[in-house]
Amino acid sequence: MEQKLLDAITALYDEMVDLRRHFHMYPELSFKEVNTPKTIAAYHRDLGLEVREGVGTRGVVATLRGKYPGKTVAIRADFDALPITEENDVPYASTVDGVMHACGHDAHTAIALGMAKAFVSVKDDLHGNVVFIHQHAEEEDPGGAKAMIEDGALEGVDIIFATHMENYLPVHHVSHSPDYILAASDDFFITIKGEGGHGAFPQDATDAVQIGAQLVANLHQLVSRKVDPLKSAVLTVGAFKAGEKANVIPGQATIEGTVRTFDDDVRAALADWVKKVAEHTAAMYGAEVEVDYQFGYPATKNDPDVNALIVKAATALLPEGHVKAMAPNMGAEDFSYFTRQIPGAYFFTGSANEAKGFTYPYHHPKFDIDEQALLNGAKVMAKATLDYLTEAH
């Protein structure tokens, strides 16, 4: 049955490429996906799967039931795009101004659809079920995963897999982690309220620029001074906005930043320290401050046993030495909500090909992939799924 399943995926390569390019041409932003979920649902219905639409508002859940009872594996694929203007000169370039699939979600969707069609070909020999969770709004907090879970997307599911295209990794490679693979992502927004004045008379003003500059320096001390050196964290100030003229002291400034962590205690402590440092820095110079600290996606932690299924499958399918463990990545993903509910594994499928020019990272206007990655991602997850269902029955 395994070879029949893998051969079916190979035979579906051209169809998966066509699907990926269709979604690439017609991208939709987070929480604004309308036609994409309709296309996904129609495809699964044509295969004879049980389909729920509008899961968590815009998600799609399709269930394939094997002939025999058994465990249930979920495959998660996100399908939202980004507010980026594409710069690729290809026939399948985005047709929507200012919107682009610059993160591989079109590929993730095509992989899941191809897997569904391949599994239909072996369902009469299959023990257990495969659930395809097509998730909206991964790119924009609060994301679609949490809402889909609350709407029953994981009901009856035992384990879950997901992959992501990776242009830092050559095609025909896979990277994985048996533990944390992606960080928690939180953002802060600070408003400093001082008193404006003339640049020649600073004694009569409460300078929001000077206070903000001091605050940025103080915030950047937090990781080195308040986090255990054996635990990872990143704090980055990405925006500092104040003033409009050289000789005018502004009375207000805003600072925006992000915090990335793995450990829940470190995450909570840094949130507290950002607020304390902001309040005390402002108070030291007689200003007021407002801090809006927003907790985003939690860290993504793989289950070691589920991850081992991916490693086993990838090792069997890819060239020797092409499957490697990776250090945790400070990026973030709302797949973390799924793995907080059930055991799961998230891994990276290499999609770069320097000879073909597929080297731009995700979120870049020239992002594109070697579409051989579709076969690799689909086959690895299909074999891992089948291995689990076969061993469990």
Q: What residues are labeled active site?
A: 80, 138
d(CA 275, CA 117): 51
For residue 282, CA distances in Å to 189, 225, 239, 257, 258 come to 14, 20, 18, 17, 20
Residue 392: in which H helix or E strand, if any? helix 372-392
Tally Cβ neighbours within 10 Å of residue 120. Answer: 17
- 105 a known binding residue? yes
- 173 a known binding residue? no
User: Is residue 347 within 8 Å of residue 163, measured between CB atoms?
Assistant: yes
> Phi/psi class of residue 38: alpha, beta or left (left: φ > 0; alpha: ψ in -120 to 50)?
alpha
Q: How many CA atoms lie within 13 A of 183 on its CB side?
A: 20
- 363 a known binding residue? yes
Rounded (10°) CA dihedral 262, 263, 268, 269:
-110
- 139 a known binding residue? yes
- 101 a known binding residue? no
What letter would DSSP give residue 221?
Answer: T
User: Is residue 258 within 8 Å of residue 294, measured between CB atoms?
Assistant: no
Binding positions are: 103, 105, 139, 164, 363
Binding positions for Mn(2+) are: 103, 105, 139, 164, 363
